Amino acid sequence: MTTRPLSFSSLRTVPISERKADTDERDYGAPYSANSSLSDLLCSLPNLGAGADLFHLRDAIVSSHRRGRKIIVGCGGHVMDTGLSPLLARLIEQRLISGIALTGEALLQDVEIALTGQTLGSHDQDLIDGRYCITDETGRLINDAVNMGAVENWGFGASVGRKLLDMESEHLEHSVVAAACRCGIPVTVHPTIGADAFTLHPQAHGESLGSVAMYDFRLLAGIMAEASGGVLLNVASGVILPRLFLQAVDAARNLGKKVEGLTTAVIDPSASASSVEDVVGRLSQPDGEGYCLSGPDEVLLPLLFGAVIDALGDDVE
- Give the model confidence (pLDDT) of 146-165 as tens digits: 999 999 999 999 999 999 99
End-to-end Cα spacing for the chain: 78
In single-letter form, the type of residue at position 264 comes to: T
- Give the model confidence (pLDDT) of 207-218 as tens digits: 999 999 999 999
Set out the domains of the chain in order of their start, with CATH numbers: 51-312 (3.40.910.10)
* CB environment 252-282: b (16+ within 10 A), e (fewer): beeeebebebbbbbbbbeebeeebbebbbeb
Residue 317, pLDDT score: 76
Average pLDDT of the residues in 94-119: 95
- CA dist 156 and 160 (Å) reads 6
Q: Is the pLDDT of residue 284 over 70?
A: yes
DSSP letters spanning 140-193: HHHHHHHHHHHHHT--HHHHHHHHHHHHT-TTGGG-HHHHHHHHT--EEEE--B
**Which is more confident, 195 or 122?**
195
**Which is more confident, 129 or 317?**
317
In single-letter form, the type of residue at position 161 comes to: G
Residue 315, pLDDT score: 83
- How remote is the C-alpha of 266 from its chain's centroid? 8
In single-letter form, the type of residue at position 123 comes to: H
Q: Is the pLDDT of residue 126 over 70?
A: no
> What percent of the chain has pLDDT above 90?
81
Q: Which of 37-51, 128-142, 221-235, 278-292 has the lowest mean pLDDT?
A: 128-142
Beta bridge partners of 293: 267
- Give the model confidence (pLDDT) of 32-73 as tens digits: 888 889 899 988 999 999 999 999 999 999 999 999 999 999
Shortest CA distance to 161 belongs to which of 222, 215, 169?
Answer: 169
pTM: 0.92
Q: Is the pLDDT of residue 130 over 70?
A: no
- CA dist 52 and 75 (Å) reads 23
The total of other beta-carbon atoms located within 10 Å of residue 312's CB is: 17
Q: How far is CA 18 from CA 9, 13, 21, 114, in A?
A: 21, 11, 9, 61
- Give the model confidence (pLDDT) of 234-258 as tens digits: 999 999 999 999 999 999 999 999 9
- CA dist 238 and 269 (Å) reads 10
Task: Round the average pLDDT of the chain to a whole number and report it.
Answer: 93
Average pLDDT of the residues in 297-304: 96
SS3 237: coil
* Helices vs strands, H then E, count in the chain: 13, 6
